[in-house]
Amino acid sequence: MIPDEIFIKIVRSAVRSPSAHNTQPWLFAKQDDDLCIVPDFSRSLPVADPDQRELFISLGCAAETAMISARFYGYRPTLQINALSRDCPINISLQKDDLIEKPALFSYIKVRQTTRNRYAGTAVTHEDITALVKVADADRIRFYIGQNEIQPFGSFIAEANDIQMSNPKFVNELIHWVRFSKKEAMQKGDGLYTSCSGLPSFGRVLGSFVLRNAVTAGSENKRLLNQLKKTAVIALFTTPGNNPENWIKTGMVFQRFALTAASLKLSHSHLNSPCQITEVRDKMRSYLGLKGEFPQLLIRLGFSHKMPDSFRRSVNDVIIKPKK
Ligand SMILES: Cc1cc2nc3c(=O)[nH]c(=O)nc-3n(C[C@H](O)[C@H](O)[C@H](O)COP(=O)(O)O)c2cc1C
């Protein structure tokens, strides 16, 4: 039986994981020696993520963090994915092991963040790319280096953003998850805090007005294409299939990648829209010659300064209490 205090420490690390719109769509249960990660579908994004693809990627991120944390606290994790199980799609058995090596990535769980500012444009070294390649099977992450390889992504990003931003339901869902002030972000402990994107604190009424009227597909595209010009490397995560098990595994690889990037002092952020809109994803896939592979995450990498961190809910809100 894992002691309660260790279980809570592992969950506290796992909730620091990234999730789409910072929805934190996870619940954790302790069952004897097992840690079970369960989706919280009440936190899904029906418009932006109708297949719950990104929800399962987020769960994969939490699973990876939980396993790194378990090793740090002297427990050997064994993972079982049964993605279609409602009760326990991700089961991590934990065995005490005093000889287990403490993982170096543990220290970066708190340091990692999605950094959405403009990067310096400085090249990433070959050694750093090699370290990032090692976090996954070579065919799971593809790297596009230098402006000649990076610029073609601009048209896919712009096309997908146009589709999303011209959908009022997408904008409404986004506004629902934006936290327009520090007070709101702290109280809710979730969502997209404006300061994390370098935006001022408007308050909800003014903020919603600005987002609905001043932030357009055009302004978003301009901002993202400017960011692309200063991006040193793009990483594309792909999977051989397109189902919940593949998505969970993408999340695990992505979280190892993000923690490794943090250890190398490299910033990263998402340019996922071409992976989110099926017709754009298929065009991008054929442009890149990715037969039989599904693009899941598109990530830019580079050097920049840190941004404010996003907030998290308390562990008490995400632990399923055992039935008496
Ligand atoms: C599956 C997934 C999809 C994401 N998509 C986007 C995105 O399209 N744009 C973006 O800016 N951030 C995206 N993010 C980053 C989240 O918004 C971020 O993880 C969350 O706000 C918590 O912030 P943190 O990563 O700094 O801890 C995504 C994260 C995940 C796991």
Nearest atom in ligand 1 to the alpha carbon of residue 197 is 11
Q: What is the pLDDT of residue 324?
A: 65
Task: Check residues 293 and 324 and name the one with the higher pLDDT.
Answer: 293
- Tell which of 47, 76, 109 closes a domain: 109
pTM of the model: 0.97
Structural domain includes residue 308: no
24 lines ligand 1 (CB under 6 A): no
- Tell which of 53, 74, 109 closes a domain: 109
- Tell which of 63, 79, 109 closes a domain: 109
CATH code of the domain in which 156 resides = 3.40.109.10
Q: What is the pLDDT of residue 51?
A: 97
- Is the pLDDT reported for residue 222 higher than 70? yes
- Is the pLDDT reported for residue 138 higher than 70? no
Structural domain includes residue 101: yes
Q: What is the pLDDT of residue 30?
A: 95
116 lines ligand 1 (CB under 6 A): yes
Q: What is the pLDDT of residue 216?
A: 85
82 and 184 inside one domain = no
Ligand 1 centroid–CA 267 distance in Å is: 13
Determine the average pLDDT of the residues in 63-68: 98
Structural domain includes residue 99: yes
99 and 133 inside one domain = no
45 and 156 inside one domain = no
- pLDDT 10s digits, 245-294: 999 999 999 999 999 999 999 999 999 999 999 999 999 999 999 988 99
* Residues of the domain holding 34: 4-109
158 and 85 inside one domain = no
310 lines ligand 1 (CB under 6 A): yes
282 and 174 inside one domain = yes
The protein residue whose alpha carbon is closest to atom 9 in ligand 1 is 270
230 and 147 inside one domain = yes
Confidence of residue 1 (pLDDT cuts 50, 70, 90): confident
Confidence of residue 140 (pLDDT cuts 50, 70, 90): confident
Question: Where is average pLDDT lowest: 160-169, 273-282, 315-324?
Answer: 315-324
61 lines ligand 1 (CB under 6 A): yes
46 and 144 inside one domain = no
Determine the average pLDDT of the residues in 9-28: 98
Task: Check residues 163 and 209 and name the one with the higher pLDDT.
Answer: 163
Structural domain includes residue 117: no
Structural domain includes residue 120: no
Total structural domains within the chain: 2
Nearest atom in ligand 1 to the alpha carbon of residue 113 is 26
Ligand 1 centroid–CA 22 distance in Å is: 6
282 and 157 inside one domain = yes
103 and 147 inside one domain = no
Q: What is the pLDDT of residue 34?
A: 95
Structural domain includes residue 318: no
The protein residue whose alpha carbon is closest to atom 2 in ligand 1 is 20
Q: What is the pLDDT of residue 121?
A: 86
205 and 91 inside one domain = no
Structural domain includes residue 246: yes
73 and 174 inside one domain = no
SS (H, E, C) the chain: CCCHHHHHHHHHHHCCCCCHHHCCCEEEEEECCEEEEEECHHHCCCCCCCCCHHHHHHHHHHHHHHHHHHHHCCEEEEEEECCCCCCCCEEEEEEECCCCCCCHHHHHCCCCCCCCCCCCCCCCCHHHHHHHHCCCCCCCEEEEECHHHHCCHHHHHHHHHHHHHCCHHHHHHHHHHEECCHHHHHHHCCCEEHHHHCCCCCCHHHHHHHHHHCCCHHHHHHHHHHHHHCCCEEEEEEECCCCHHHHHHHHHHHHHHHHHHHHCCCEEEECCHHHHCHHHHHHHHHHHCCCCCEEEEEEEEECCCCCCCCCCCCHHHCECCCCC
67 and 187 inside one domain = no
